[in-house]
Amino acid sequence: MNTFFQGSEVVNLLHGIPSTAISEKCQAEINSFLIQLSVRPIQVSANGFFILDKSQTLAVSIFALYFYKILIQGILNIIRNN
Contacting residues for 44 by C-beta, under 8 A, at least 6 apart = 51, 52
Q: How confident is the model at residue 1 (pLDDT cuts 50, 70, 90)?
A: very low
pTM of the model: 0.42
- The pLDDT tens digits for 36-82 are 877 777 777 777 777 777 777 788 889 999 999 999 999 999 999 98
Tell me the C-alpha distance between 53 and 44, whole Å.
Answer: 7
Tell which residue, 42, 39, 35, 36, has the closest CA to residue 7: 42
CA 31 to chain centre: 22
pLDDT for 67 equals: 96
3 state SS of 52: strand
The answer to whether residue 28 scores a pLDDT higher than 80 is: yes
pLDDT for 7 equals: 62
